[in-house]
Amino acid sequence: MIALRAPAGQNAGVLADRPPPHILDDRIRILADAWASDPSIGAVYLFGSRASGRPGPRSDVDLAVTLAAGLDARARWRKRLDLMADASRRLGTDAVDVVVLEDAPIVLGHRVLARGRLLREPQPRRRAAVAEDILRRYLDEEPLRRLLDAGLACRIREGRFAG
Listed range (57-66, 74-83, 96-105, 143-152) with the worst mean pLDDT:
143-152
Identify the band that residue 74 occupies on the pLDDT scale cut at 50, 70 and 90. very high
Choose between 40 and 53: higher pLDDT: 40
pLDDT number for residue 11:
47
pLDDT in tens, 82-141: 999 999 999 999 999 999 999 999 999 999 999 999 999 999 999 999 999 999 999 999
Q: Which of 81, 87, 71, 76 is nearest to 30 (CA)?
A: 87
As a whole number of angstroms, the distance between CA 59 and CA 40 comes to: 28
Q: Which of 59, 61, 49 is nearest to 96 (CA)?
A: 61
* Three-class DSSP category at 34: helix
As a whole number of angstroms, the distance between CA 76 and CA 140 comes to: 25
Mean pLDDT of 73-85: 97
pLDDT number for residue 4:
40
Identify the band that residue 163 occupies on the pLDDT scale cut at 50, 70 and 90. low
* Three-class DSSP category at 19: coil
* SS3 assignment for 138-158: HHHHHHHHHHHHHHHHHHHHC
Choose between 161 and 55: higher pLDDT: 55
As a whole number of angstroms, the distance between CA 81 and CA 75 comes to: 10
pLDDT in tens, 20-52: 777 899 999 999 999 999 999 999 999 999 999
Q: Which of 143, 136, 134, 144 is nearest to 113 (CA)?
A: 134
Domains of the chain: 21-157 (3.30.460.10)
95 half-sphere exposure, CB direction, 13 A CA radius: 23
